[in-house]
């Protein structure tokens, strides 16, 4: 069995996103909906629309979790 090597902290990649998660998810959903418009009705189009809905739901959930009082004080 091969052992995994752990990189030292200086080599770990950290991402500094320029846009909040909610904005990125909404933009992704918009791109997916535009892509779906160009497709004929069918399974692929429905799958892309489903992914767009999931991205929008994720954006709403993220916004909701950022609201004051939405986290448990326990």
pLDDT at residue number 26: 96
Which residues lie below 8 Å from residue 29, measured CB to CB, with a gap of 6+? 52, 53, 55, 56, 59
pLDDT at 34: 98
Residue 26 belongs to what domain range? Answer: 18-66
6 assigned to some structural domain: no
Residue 37 lies in a domain: yes
Asked if the structure places residue 10 within a domain, the reply is no
Tokens coding 59 = 């954006």
Give pLDDT, residue 74.
Answer: 47
Count Cα atoms within 13 angstroms, Cβ side, for 46. Answer: 3
User: Is-above-0.75 flag for pTM?
Assistant: no
Provide the residue-wise pLDDT of the chain in tens; the chain has 74 residues: 666 666 666 666 666 778 899 999 999 999 999 999 999 999 999 999 999 999 999 999 999 998 888 665 44
């Amino acid at each position: 069995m091969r052992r995994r090597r752990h990189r030292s902290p200086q080599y770990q990649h950290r991402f500094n996103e320029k846009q909040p998660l909610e904005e990125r998810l909404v933009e992704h959903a918009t791109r997916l909906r535009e892509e779906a418009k160009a497709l004929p009705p069918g399974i692929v189009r429905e799958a892309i629309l489903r992914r767009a809905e999931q991205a929008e739901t994720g954006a709403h959930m993220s916004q909701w979790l950022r609201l004051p009082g939405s986290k448990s004080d326990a």
